[in-house]
Chains A and B, each alone.
Chain A
């Protein structure tokens, strides 16, 4: 199950507004991933982060790997109706070969964009 704290749980915003969400953990992570899931579909990878402090953009999306390596942030600028969906963070700790690939997921942030 989820061991990451993702907030907010939901957001209702107007088209054109910016959106910010974050994930925090008590553990240090080596990788942060951000996904978007549309209804009836699988999560789609938006951004991958591999270094503390890293700031990566994908169009109107920007994500940052926190300096403490215990958090990550996702921003969506100038939201549009198709930004509606659930956004998930996922963190990975690399400890040993057996631990590689075991991602922990946040509970998701539901984004609703009104015209």
Chain B
């Protein structure tokens, strides 16, 4: 079975450039999450969606960050303009309501380096 698929796996860009990270959740999952992982702060929830609707974006650092989920199988996280402090690994995760409520499955992550 295909897991959560993220792209790109690695992105190196210069400060000020726009960055778009992509995620395909597990088919049938109705929750999608974007996390950021750094050594200093660990795993931080940025935003999550339920049935394609953003539920909580209180973790989004600032207006430079935006996320969309146009359909059940695709989401994007955009940073514009990017800054060096945005360098981190960004994870997408998905889960579903049901008998095993609460099992969160992660993608392999997108490692972002902003120079």
Chain A contact residues: over half helix, strand or loop, or mixed? loop
The answer to whether the Cβ of A59 comes within 8 Å of any Cβ in the partner chain is: no
B101→A31 contact, CB < 8 A: yes
A2→B91 contact, CB < 8 A: no
The answer to whether the Cβ of A92 comes within 8 Å of any Cβ in the partner chain is: yes
Expressed in whole angstroms, the Cα–Cα distance for A44 and B3 within the complex equals 11
Max chain B CB contacts within 10 Å: which of A1, A48, A107?
A1
B residues less than 8 Å from A103 (CB atoms): 45, 102, 104
Known: A48-B100, A48-B103, A50-B102. A1 touches B56 (CB 8 A): no
Q: Output the least CB separation between B30 and chain A (Å).
A: 10
Expressed in whole angstroms, the Cα–Cα distance for A88 and B95 within the complex equals 18
Expressed in whole angstroms, the Cα–Cα distance for A35 and B31 within the complex equals 19
A102→B108 contact, CB < 8 A: no
B residues less than 8 Å from A100 (CB atoms): 31, 97, 101
The answer to whether the Cβ of A33 comes within 8 Å of any Cβ in the partner chain is: yes
Interface size on B, residues (CB 8 A): 27
Interface size on A, residues (CB 8 A): 26
Q: Output the least CB separation between B87 and chain A (Å).
A: 15
For A88, give its contact among B43, B100, B111 (CB under 8 Å).
B43
The answer to whether the Cβ of A28 comes within 8 Å of any Cβ in the partner chain is: no
A residues less than 8 Å from B97 (CB atoms): 100
A43→B106 contact, CB < 8 A: yes
B104→A2 contact, CB < 8 A: no
Closest partner residue, chain A, to B10 (CB atom): A40
B residues less than 8 Å from A92 (CB atoms): 102
Q: Which of A57-115 contact B (CB under 8 A)?
A: 88, 90, 92, 98, 100-103, 105-108
Expressed in whole angstroms, the Cα–Cα distance for A42 and B4 within the complex equals 10
The answer to whether the Cβ of B41 comes within 8 Å of any Cβ in the partner chain is: yes
Expressed in whole angstroms, the Cα–Cα distance for A102 and B87 within the complex equals 23
A1→B108 contact, CB < 8 A: no
Known: A101-B50, A105-B42, A105-B43. A42 touches B56 (CB 8 A): no
| Contacts from A to B (Cβ < 8 Å) | 1-2, 30-31, 33, 35, 40-45, 48, 50, 88, 90, 92, 98, 100-103, 105-108
Closest 5 CB pairs of A and B: A42-B106, A31-B102, A105-B43, A42-B108, A43-B106
